[in-house]
Amino acid sequence: MSRIGKKPVAIPSNVEVKVDGQTVSAKGPKGELSVTLVDDVTVKQSDDGVQVEPVSESKRARSMWGMSRTLVQNIFDGVTEGFSKQLEINGVGYRAQMKGKNLSLALGLSHDVEYAAPEGIKIECPSQTEITISGIEKQVVGQVAAEIRSYRPPEPYKGKGIKYKDEYIFRKEGKKK
């Protein structure tokens, strides 16, 4: 039994929900999102929220059960509060700044890296060494953060590069004479 899947997804007071077959749509103060669930689960709307249940007792259906419930929870969270990720830049001369809607990164390469934010994603630079990515879709926010981090991932000797704010970099000891 899925411990996560058993719980119904509570519908926030300021969110309109529409369940149409395998598609769940939510409209809230931040915007509108929808998710289409796999055929291995059924979804129903009741008084206490949206309930997701497996179609059968097969391994795949039970595997998809908890994931489907979490996807529904994520669209409710996205249209009410939204999601954000914070990145930190460490290294001498490494910095970030906004140029219009594009993010310009100076990362010790022969050229500055220009990153254009996708639709629905807001990128801010509170300082030259901090980047904040926010939006209503959890997957897209995480993907944008991962793409920006991939331009210069943190290295283990000095910790230079772009890392998540809460990420721990395992440090290695350098060469000895």
Query: What's the number of domains the chain is made of?
Result: 2
pLDDT score, position 1: 62
pLDDT digits 0-9 by tens, 96-106 = 999 998 999 99
Task: Give yes or no for a contact between 137 and 81, defined as CB atoms under 8 angstroms apart.
Answer: no
pLDDT score, position 5: 84
Residue 160: CB partners within 8 Å, gap ≥ 6?
90, 91, 92, 94, 152, 154
Do residues 89 and 153 share a domain?
yes
171 found inside a domain: no
This prediction has a pTM of 0.88
What DSSP line would sit under 101-130, residue for residue?
TEEEEE-SSSSPEEEEPPTTEEEEEEETTE
Residue carrying structure tokens 């939006």: 135
Is the pLDDT confidence value at 71 over 90? yes
Do residues 40 and 97 share a domain?
no
Do residues 73 and 8 share a domain?
yes
Do residues 53 and 125 share a domain?
no
CATH number of domain containing 7 = 3.90.930.12
Do residues 73 and 92 share a domain?
no
Domain containing residue 62:
3-80
Q: What percent of the chain has pLDDT over 70?
A: 99
Do residues 125 and 136 share a domain?
yes
Do residues 52 and 96 share a domain?
no
33 found inside a domain: yes
